[in-house]
Amino acid sequence: MVTTPVRIGVLGPHSTGKTTLLKRRERELRGHGVPVARIGRLARRAAGIGLPKTHQHTAASTEWIIAQGIADEIAAAAQGAEVVLADRAPLDALAYLHAAVEYRADHLHRREKERLRLLVSTQLPKYHLLLATVLDPDIPVDEGHDYDPRYRKLVDRHVHELLADDAVPHTPRHQRPRRPGQRHRAGAPPLPAGGRRMSIAPPAGTITIAGKSVSRLGFGTMRLTGPGVWGYPADYDTALTVLREAVDTHGISHIDTADAYGPHTLEHLIREALHPYPEHVLIATKVGMARPAPGLWAPHGHPVYLRSCVEASLRRLGVDRLELCYLHRIDPQVPYVAYRPFDAGLLARRGVQAPLDWLFSRGEHVAAIPGTSRPEHLAQITAAAAGRA
């Protein structure tokens, strides 16, 4: 019978005490009679079959290390281990790749990068504890090793940046500097002078949410992802266009998203499309939903997790304060005040005019937040909301 062991992973640059730490924990656990397995030497094993390592890492070598680590952990559980100690958790392998690409001044294709990131994200919920070492450049590396000091520093930075992006509770040593301006893709419309978009008449009037007057017609972003609400959309540039047209062309000033969309990709997308945000625009996000795989959703309401999610959303959206943040779903394992979900069954009908009419007829306190991935559908929705359809 395969049991679910306690999984502990360690991350960090070479020669920062990772293996020593896990060896000590292994001895202590065995001394208390706990069946324990230690997973390691993945990079060395990869090199043994001809794959590159350290600053020569590629997407292929990284995928092999992640997959082999997953297989080793499953095997350890099948053999009865109650605790699995992973030297090179999947996130660590991804950090080494990012550091190698930067070290070589190379380029990793966005889809390749996304695919590996999604693979890693499916494994994060399995770990009960992740430990990240912090590089002290004044401490010399172990004798017999000639690790490049610049590469070690890059690994250290990427480890902590990835931990921050994936909302893993920890204290990051480095934080990404805020960009002074927003990079736009080729063909994207430039911002007006001063970096701010002008507001236009909102469709369907306004409503006050979180102390701000915004359009009663909001825009839901969940459709701007890949299949299963997973990863980036197939047409990345069209997704940016939809977000910009919602604000610039159609006067929508209420953008609704969640850290679980992607997961995490939508908040990055919104920042790229709209940052710096116009003062009249409200970005509302949600936390408290883990994503173990495409199409799968798991409420996670532990206060520590929720706080780390909020902090990660701040970084991804590029803001100091979330103007509106919802709890995505109630976690039945965490005591909260009972709630009654809104019954939106009538919205399943085809078309947009009837559902919007029904919603707005409920009262002036109601705001509609439909979503789409196509600019022409966005135009239909806003026209219907304005009564011009």
227-236: per-residue pLDDT in tens?
889 888 888 8
**Position 182 confidence tier, pLDDT thresholds 50, 70, 90:** very low
Peptide bond connecting 263 to the previous residue in cis, omega within 30 degrees of 0:
yes
Walk me through the domains of the chain, giving residue ranges and CATH numbers.
6-165 (3.40.50.300), 200-385 (3.20.20.100)
Percentages helix, strand, coil for the chain (3-state, rounded to 5) are 40, 15, 45
Torsion, CA 46, CA 51, CA 53, CA 58, rounded to 10: -120
In DSSP notation, 111-154 reads HHHHHHHHHHHHHGGG-SEEEE----TTSPPPTT----HHHHHH
What are the strands, taking DSSP E only, across 254-357? 254-256, 282-287, 289-290, 298-299, 324-327
For residue 36, the one-letter residue type is V
Question: What are the tens digits of pLDDT across the range 52-65?
Answer: 988 899 999 999 99
Using the predicted structure, report yes or no on whether residue 362 has a pLDDT greater than 60: no
pLDDT at 154: 92
DSSP 97: H
pLDDT at 232: 86
Question: What are the tens digits of pLDDT across the range 12-62?
Answer: 888 888 888 888 888 888 888 889 999 988 988 999 999 998 889 999 999
Give the torsion sign (CA, 53, 54, 55, 60).
positive
| Alpha carbon 196 to its chain's center | 27
Instruction: State pTM to two decimals.
Output: 0.48
> Is 199 exposed, middle or buried, given 0-12, 13-18 or 19+ CB atoms closer than 10 A?
middle
